[in-house]
Structure 1
Amino acid sequence: MARSILEKAKAADLRPKSTAAKRLRAIIDRAKALFKRPSWHADAEVQRHTRLMEESIERGDWLAAKDHALALGELGERLGDAGLVKKAGRALRRLHGGNRTWQLIAASKRVSGKAEWDGSDLAGRTLLVDRRAGDLAIFFQFASLLGPAVAAAGRCIVFVEPRLASLYRRTYPKLDVRVEGDEDLDAVGADVFSGFETLATHFWPDDPAARVPFVPLRPDPQQVAELRNKYLDHGPGPLIGFAWGSLNKSKDLPALEDWRGLLGRLPGQFVSLQYGDVGPALSEFKRHAPGRIVHDTSVDQLSDMDRFAAQIAALDMVVTISNTGANLAGALGVPTIVMLDDGFRLSWPAFGDTVAAYPSVRLIRKGARGWAPALQKAADLAKSIMGGSHHGQ
């Protein structure tokens, strides 16, 4: 299944839609929404808080939405409903729910029969960490937590997605990095177990001063230097990475005309970080920024994540939609602007422009104004972040 998904991603033509095509998509999505049924639960209090939370989200009343999400978490715990606990935790993740977010998500992912780490002394003990469920972004958002886990435990083992093994081993030489699916978790002889969110409950308390510091992932320095020099051969910097398309059809993405404003307002070279069949889109972008679009066929992010990390680290900054590359750029500490639509489903905060897990990331939302002014704001913010100077020239 994983291979078929990767092959689909490699072949996908993800060029930005025109404004007219986006209008048609919106009409189809509204029609589909008419047939969606609201979620159901036997408990009246659950129904009430779910409805009130959704209504609060709809009108942007984040404080009220957070209160109802907290109530749903307590109800889920009381009812022993792991699905409800997870739903509440995921909502709080978008609502700046603090440590309670990770408590709930960790509880929903706990594995029966395995001793979950409770924050007690790990000296002389073997801790095994695995993701249990979730997408690739988990390995980026929580990467900084492996350092303190390694320091605390007699031995720390982590199971990662195969493409990330080299990146993790380079960042944490004392971490025992294993590849998901290569062996049974029970066979490694761990004393205690932990999901990444369990680590967060202990290392990311509500007090910012007590939170473990961000530590960027370490790409291959030789590849970083090689790629940076290669891109600067195309012309003077800064080097700005960008990505525009997604296989997720529910995302509201900037149209081609919207990107034109950003390309025209920023100096330097634009390096494609987009997966899929990028040819059709790049031919359009090259018309708006002739001689300034770089497509490096030596980088295949879908099969070689280590080289993709080096590519991102070779850049001065990244401007992108929400995707794996946005999370990786944040985990590498590269200055990054992430363009977000107005959907609540994304794994980014619903309000504010910063992300606690990624200090170098800034968020810009579409809002009611549309994408063109949002991308203009992104261009202005990019100029401000780069400070009018860059080391690529």
Structure 2
Amino acid sequence: MPPDTRTLFQKALALHQSGDAAGAQAMYRKVLKHDARHFDSLHLLGLTYVQQGDLARGAEQISAALAVRPDFAEAHYNLGHALLSLGRPADALASFDRAIALNGRDPLSHFERGNALKELGRGADAMQSFEAALSLAPRFADAHNNIGVLLKDEGRFEEALAHYDRAISLRPGYAEAHSNRGNVLKELERLDEALASYDRAIALRPDYAEAYSNRGNALARLGWPERALESHDRAIALRPDYAEGHNNRGNALKDLGRLDEALASFDTALRLRPDYAEALSNRGGALAEAGRLGEALADHDRAVSLKPTSAEAWCSRGNALVDLGRMADALASYEEAMRLKPSFAMARYNASLVALRQRDFATGFDFYRSRFAAERPGARGPETALPAWDGATCDGEVLLWAEQGLGDEVFFAAMLPLVDPAQRIALSADRRLHPVLARAFPHVRLIGREMTEQRVEGPFAAQAPVGDLGFLLKLDAARIARRRSPYFTADQARRAALQAANASATGELVCGVAWRSGNKKLGHHRSVALADFAPLLQLPGLRFVNLQYGQVEEEIAAVAARLGSTVHIARDVDVFNDIEGLLALIDACDVVFTTDNVTAHLAGALGKPAVVMVPAGQGRHWYWGGESPSLWYPSLTLAYQQDPGSWREPVTEASQFVAGMLARAQG
């Protein structure tokens, strides 16, 4: 090298090392004017471009250097790094492979090779590369972190947590590892610890938008959507071009029922990242909530075409197909999700609901056991050290513990007569149901539901959630049809008193009405305005009695003013807290007209003639399988919604049913 060229290069290198990239570039170019094939100047000039974020120019310059000296491992590594940052993982992988072939002892090349493989969806190969990096550098915190990411993706949460803990022990100030640790703690439902990890990450990096967004996701899981939204807003304020932040913000808004704003957030995420499959899936979910089912499916189809290896995208597509009533196609989507991710409890749970609706009870009840592992708010079972009951008769007492809502407790109680009478049973149940259950099942020992909400313990031989009875008892359609029905009876003294109080002097039929569901997640799908009952409320020859809990006085008064129809309120029955009184009031009616809520279950358990309006799509319970009358409650006529959001057909059908009863009574 001529002396002036050597001097220029040393000056360029000094400027580069001092952080003066512009000055170094000028000097490297001067060297190249003297010697266009000066390898180090070609290579390091390219590296300055990469360091400045001009990735394409940097990759081009490093490639020119490698044309001069193709056997320099570090240049292949730097080229791979630039290509990976450019979103070209396949080309990056080729560069890292070449770097490793030239120098297999460099842990960074193995590490970045793992990152390229991860981007290509080759998780197992990526794991091998990260492990190779660790074998060469056991204190490599980044490799521990990235192994944790892969393990989390595989559902191996405890192993992932161990790697994040190791990364943090090696580098306590590693904010990304703290945030990732929060992610896996969230999956383990250790939500308070997850929040602490996110808060630590934010304390280390106050501008860490991703940690704020992850924190918002944990707050949403805790059922605090308002606080979740605040966290997502902070993430976006820090980084307005953060597509994932806008996507997560959309989810929080969707949880709050603010669908137009949620759709706007998903649109922003997709404008920033048009190929963002997760945002497409989430927008599809919001579109479905808004009743725009065709658009929803189009988004889900696009999501799986962009990311065909995403189990979550296939599962969401299945949900859209359920909304459209395409059950076979929905089941195929759930099966693909389970094939891609065998540990995916949500897909298994959703598949169970389809199988049960199709009366494939063996598969359905088997898969239904995954409901506690599925990522659903509030679906965490209590802790227990007691053995799980296998359904076989055993010595000692078996505890069946309550789950889900009050209507579900009534529903699952129908299976109790199928348990071997020789088996001693204890049942935890909402105390409002205790008088009714004691009358129906005098051989069952009742305990308060609150005793089993957090932990199941005591002198029991075994335990099981009451919702597992279908699986444990191997129920099929024939055994269901042979159950004792009805299985509830009302208190006869209260029934007589309420019947007398609500009897019509002109011989009108007494019709009980309920029109709302209190289910926090799906209640809006199952609820209707009382005024929408107009075709029924205006039928002559009926006396209407309120069976709806909650604040109903204003709505009843408005209907009276608008339609001239009176719905009588039984003042001596608190229809929310006094279930014994509600049951007696239902029994005092000649017929009941209700949406899918606890009134439907109580009427069915009593054997009371009733019409239940069943919603379409995700709002429909699996036990309303398309038949009428109900397989589970033979006294119930099921009127199915045809179009989400419109109750015209079910109300018309119910009105015709009640009109038929009137005609028979008068004839």
Instruction: Give TM-score scaled by structure 1 length.
Output: 0.78
- Please state whether the residue corresponding to 1:338 is helix, strand or coil: strand
Q: Please give the alpha-carbon distance, in whole angstroms, between the structure 1 residues aligned to 2:484 and 2:532.
A: 33
Q: Please give the alpha-carbon distance, in whole angstroms, between the structure 2 residues aligned to 1:30 and 1:271.
A: 37
**Contact 2:385/2:457, CA 8 A, preserved across alignment:** no
Q: Which one of the candidate residues 486, 502, 509 is aligned to 1:238? A: 509
**Contact 1:143/1:217, CA 8 A, preserved across alignment:** no
Instruction: Please tell me whether residue 118 in structure 1 is matched to residue 381 in structure 2.
Output: no
Q: Which one of the candidate residues 401, 404, 407 is aligned to 1:137? A: 407
- Please state whether the residue corresponding to 1:137 is helix, strand or coil: helix
Q: Please give the alpha-carbon distance, in whole angstroms, between the structure 2 residues aligned to 1:60 and 1:358.
A: 23
How far off its partner does 1:303 sit? 1.4
How far off its partner does 1:231 sit? 0.7
Structure with larger RCO (C-alpha < 8 A, sep 6+):
1
How far off its partner does 1:389 sit? 1.6
Please list the CA deviations of residues 255-304 of structure 1 after superposition, one character each: whole Å capped at 9, or x if unmatched: 45532211122522111111222221222333467575321011112211
How far off its partner does 1:90 sit? 3.7
**For residue 53 of structure 1, what is the aligned residue in structure 2?**
318
How far off its partner does 1:63 sit? 2.6
Please list the CA deviations of residues 127-152 of structure 1 after superposition, one character each: whole Å capped at 9, or x if unmatched: 11012x41112211111212232614
Letter in 2 for 1:193: Q
Instruction: Please tell me whether residue 186 in structure 1 is matched to residue 461 in structure 2.
Output: no
**Contact 2:384/2:457, CA 8 A, preserved across alignment:** no
Q: Please give the alpha-carbon distance, in whole angstroms, between the structure 2 residues aligned to 1:208 and 1:279.
A: 44
How far off its partner does 1:159 sit? 0.4
**Contact 2:412/2:466, CA 8 A, preserved across alignment:** yes
How far off its partner does 1:173 sit? 0.9
**Contact 1:114/1:193, CA 8 A, preserved across alignment:** yes
**For residue 6 of structure 1, what is the aligned residue in structure 2?**
none
Letter in 1 for 2:429: V
Unaligned runs of 5+ in 1: 1-26
How far off its partner does 1:169 sit? 0.4
How far off its partner does 1:51 sit? 4.7
How far off its partner does 1:254 sit? 3.9
Q: Please give the alpha-carbon distance, in whole angstroms, between the structure 2 residues aligned to 1:211 and 1:125.
A: 29
Q: Which one of the candidate residues 92, 99, 110 is aligned to 2:362? A: 99
**Contact 2:386/2:457, CA 8 A, preserved across alignment:** no
Letter in 2 for 1:145: M
Q: Please give the alpha-carbon distance, in whole angstroms, between the structure 1 residues aligned to 2:363 and 2:385.
A: 24
How far off its partner does 1:373 sit? 4.3
- Please state whether the residue corresponding to 1:213 is helix, strand or coil: coil
Which stretch shows the higher mean deviation, 337-346 or 192-201?
337-346
Identify the structure with the greater strand proportion.
1
**For residue 379 of structure 1, what is the aligned residue in structure 2?**
655
- Please state whether the residue corresponding to 2:450 is helix, strand or coil: coil
Q: Please give the alpha-carbon distance, in whole angstroms, between the structure 2 residues aligned to 1:278 and 1:166.
A: 26
Please list the CA deviations of residues 60-99 of structure 1 after superposition, one character each: whole Å capped at 9, or x if unmatched: 22232234446656777x42x4444333334444454423
How far off its partner does 1:227 sit? 0.9
**Contact 2:323/2:616, CA 8 A, preserved across alignment:** no
How far off its partner does 1:361 sit? 1.7
- 1:68-87 alignment runs, 5 A limit: 68-69=333-334, 78-79=342-343, 81-87=344-350
User: Relative to structure 1, is the Cα distance of residues 288 and 380 closer, same or farther in structure 2, using a 3 angstrom cutoff?
Assistant: farther
Please list the CA deviations of residues 170-216 of structure 1 after superposition, one character each: whole Å capped at 9, or x if unmatched: 111111011122476312x1112121222111335235257651432
**Contact 2:361/2:475, CA 8 A, preserved across alignment:** yes
Identify the structure with the greater helix proportion.
2
Letter in 2 for 1:351: G
Please list the CA deviations of residues 210-237 of structure 1 after superposition, one character each: whole Å capped at 9, or x if unmatched: 7651432122121112111211056523
**Contact 1:165/1:177, CA 8 A, preserved across alignment:** yes
Please list the CA deviations of residues 77-122 of structure 1 after superposition, one character each: whole Å capped at 9, or x if unmatched: x42x444433333444445442322222224447664322223233
Q: Please give the alpha-carbon distance, in whole angstroms, between the structure 2 residues aligned to 1:210 and 1:340.
A: 20
- Please state whether the residue corresponding to 2:419 is helix, strand or coil: helix
- Count of aligned residue pairs for this structure pair: 359
Which stretch shows the higher mean deviation, 239-248 or 110-119?
110-119
Q: Please give the alpha-carbon distance, in whole angstroms, between the structure 1 residues aligned to 2:388 and 2:583.
A: 32
**For residue 443 of structure 2, what is the aligned residue in structure 1?**
174
**Contact 2:537/2:565, CA 8 A, preserved across alignment:** no
**For residue 356 of structure 1, what is the aligned residue in structure 2?**
631
**For residue 44 of structure 1, what is the aligned residue in structure 2?**
309
Which stretch shows the higher mean deviation, 223-232 or 51-60?
51-60
Q: Please give the alpha-carbon distance, in whole angstroms, between the structure 1 residues aligned to 2:664 and 2:629.
A: 22
Q: Which one of the candidate residues 573, 585, 588 is aligned to 1:299? A: 573
**For residue 197 of structure 1, what is the aligned residue in structure 2?**
467
Larger radius of gyration: 2
**Contact 2:504/2:543, CA 8 A, preserved across alignment:** no
- Please state whether the residue corresponding to 1:367 is helix, strand or coil: coil
**For residue 389 of structure 1, what is the aligned residue in structure 2?**
665
Unaligned runs of 5+ in 2: 1-256, 267-278, 283-302, 373-380
**For residue 15 of structure 1, what is the aligned residue in structure 2?**
none
Instruction: Tell me the percent identity.
Output: 19
Q: Please give the alpha-carbon distance, in whole angstroms, between the structure 2 residues aligned to 1:182 and 1:368.
A: 42
Letter in 2 for 1:221: Q
- 1:199-278 alignment runs, 5 A limit: 199-203=469-473, 205-209=475-479, 212-215=482-485, 216-233=487-504, 235-246=506-517, 250-251=524-525, 253-255=527-529, 257-265=531-539, 267-278=541-552
**For residue 223 of structure 2, what is the aligned residue in structure 1?**
none
Q: Which one of the candidate residues 568, 588, 601 is aligned to 1:314? A: 588
**Contact 1:72/1:88, CA 8 A, preserved across alignment:** no
Letter in 2 for 1:64: D
User: Relative to structure 1, is the Cα distance of residues 205 and 262 closer, same or farther in structure 2, using a 3 angstrom cutoff?
Assistant: same
How far off its partner does 1:387 sit? 6.4
How far off its partner does 1:55 sit? 4.4
Structure 1 segments (4+ residues) deviating >6 Å: 39-43, 73-76
User: Relative to structure 1, is the Cα distance of residues 72 and 190 closer, same or farther in structure 2, using a 3 angstrom cutoff?
Assistant: farther
Q: Which one of the candidate residues 329, 340, 354 is aligned to 1:64? A: 329
